[in-house]
Structure 1
Amino acid sequence: MTNSLERNIASLWGLGEKTKFPGTLASFVCLIFSFLSYYFFDEKIHTILFFIFLILGYWAIHVIHKSNEPKDYSWIVIDEWIGMWLASFFLFESDFTLVAKIWVAIGVFVIFRIIDIIKFIPPINIIDKKKEQTAISVILDDIIAGCYSYAVLMIAFGFYNISFIYSSFLILLPAIIANMTPVLLGRIRKFSRPMNEEIFGKNKTWRGFLGGIFAGTLSYPLLLETNFIHVAQNENFIFLLGFLLSFGALTGDLVKSYFKRKIGIKEGEGWVPWDQIDYVLGAIIATYFIYDYSFKNIVLMLIIGGIMSALAHRFAYLIKIINTKW
């Protein structure tokens, strides 16, 4: 393989080929650059840089896979760079002295490498074990490792306290209920006509979609206990918010189903982690114009939503409502 542009990007211009520990070296170099980004720029620029790296990394790995075996080559380290950059967002959350910040940055690096190397936390271990890797899956496990690293530090430093976690759970609850309802209604035969079997598959029915929105929206009084109440002090707004969270959640599920059909994933076959977080992403997008979610909100909601979905899916499998474990 020649030193093409895509190989240079994927290997960070040969950095991934200079040591027996390419991922660790790439993460450490990223630590330096991400700290400089934090020191000289604001969080918005840091975010823009992250998406630039993400787009370039995806493109480079995708092109490499088109002409080579689709796997996670050891010299591909742009994924570690992306994951480490994501974890470094924690630097913007803490207010320490410069020296303390340097030690915090080192802590971010250490935690990220532990999580990324051991890969003991789902769904990182599930994604990593896939025989055929795509550009998305190569990058995705490092993105998840970056999110977990960020969350660990947020908990360790008290930014994710019990109150904040509980509030985030309640905010997401209408979406969780909406997402679970179609499965619970699965054995009811009435209104079981698929919405569009060719596009979404036979399991996406009007019964599940409308029933999920109805059930999720009715849970809106629970939002009164959350910090969302400061946005507007009236029940009509909370009712609308419950509807948007539910509608967004199930629309996110539909979009995911469309892409599953598009790439040839069979009906009922698992697609980790999108099966677990599709509804969370949909709910966040649907309500983002109302509540300007911060990075820490989004990460925590994705983790909570993913855990709840995985547990619900596992329970449904055990009682034989569905046929796949995850």
Structure 2
Amino acid sequence: MIVSLVAGALWAMLPAYVPNNVAVLAGGGRPIDGGRTLGDRRLLGDGKTWRGTAAGTLAGVALAVGLNAVRTAVGDALGTTLPAFPLRAALGLALGAMLGDIGASLVKRRLGRERGAAVPGLDQLDFVVGALALAALLAPAWTPSTFSLPRLGVVLVATPLLHVTTNAGAYLLGLKSEPW
């Protein structure tokens, strides 16, 4: 039962977990805010680029398509049924994750935080909120049926742990300048 719950929750979130990591690897290029400021601060900063956002979104959608292809085999191996991703849900999760991260960057700039500064809670769950919100908008029947309250609970507990672990790994590999 617990394996099924955790596997289903993490599987359902994979298209949202991957985009920001891909954006780090594929980023660079023109910043989304074009260097614009609001008052004395940048709107977003150089870390939020068009290329990273597009690459991250495409990677999340492509991952969902790939997960659909292996869903039955993986589910059988785990002894559970894993959710399938309609294209609208995949797009909502992937693009929503990117938009959630962009929104958090905007909030951080307004708080006077520099690029890379940690804001506990916001850093770990911004993309989850964005992903689930856009998925609910684009796939309104799929989202609540896939993210039951127990699965949502798993996501809210597991995501900060995964976030801290993957960011520390990216820092150790030299892909990030901060370990958060």
Q: Please indicate the TM-score interval, normalised by the length of the shorter structure.
A: 0.7 to 0.9
1:255 aligns with 2:110: no
Gaps in structure 2 of 5+ consecutive residues: 36-41, 72-80
Counterpart position of 1:178: 19
Matched AA of 1:255: G
Match for residue 311 of structure 1 among 165, 172, 175: 165
Separation in 2, partners of 1:215, 1:300: 23
Counterpart position of 1:195: 32
1:223 to partner: Cα distance: 4.4
Counterpart position of 2:4: 163
Instruction: Please report the RMSD computed on the Cα atoms of aligned residues, expressed in angstroms.
Output: 1.8
Separation in 1, partners of 2:110, 2:161: 26
Counterpart position of 1:264: 112
Separation in 1, partners of 2:168, 2:101: 18
Matched AA of 1:323: S
1:322 aligns with 2:176: yes
Matched AA of 1:179: N
Mapping of 1:92-107 within 5 angstroms?
none
Q: Which has the higher contact order (CA 8 A, sep 6+)?
A: 2
Query: What SS does structure 1 have at the residue aligned with 2:20?
Result: helix
Aligned length: 156
Separation in 2, partners of 1:170, 1:213: 17
Separation in 2, partners of 1:223, 1:240: 13
TM-score in terms of structure 1 length = 0.45
Matched AA of 2:115: E
Mapping of 1:133-172 within 5 angstroms?
161-172=2-13
Gaps in structure 1 of 5+ consecutive residues: 1-157, 230-236
1:62-120 superposed Cα distances (whole Å, 9 cap, x missing partner): xxxxxxxxxxxxxxxxxxxxxxxxxxxxxxxxxxxxxxxxxxxxxxxxxxxxxxxxxxx
TM-score in terms of structure 2 length = 0.79
Separation in 2, partners of 1:178, 1:286: 14
When Rg is computed on C-alpha atoms for both structures, the one with the higher figure is: 1
Matched AA of 1:310: V
Separation in 2, partners of 1:302, 1:223: 23
Separation in 1, partners of 2:7, 2:82: 10
Give the conservation status (yes or no) of the 8 Å contact 1:249–1:282. yes
Q: State the identity as a percent.
A: 28
Separation in 1, partners of 2:169, 2:56: 18
Query: What SS does structure 1 have at the residue aligned with 2:18?
Result: helix
Query: What SS does structure 2 have at the residue aligned with 1:175?
Result: helix
Match for residue 209 of structure 1 among 50, 53, 59: 53
Counterpart position of 1:82: none
Matched AA of 1:301: V
Counterpart position of 1:286: 134
Separation in 2, partners of 1:185, 1:307: 24
Give the conservation status (yes or no) of the 8 Å contact 1:178–1:216. yes
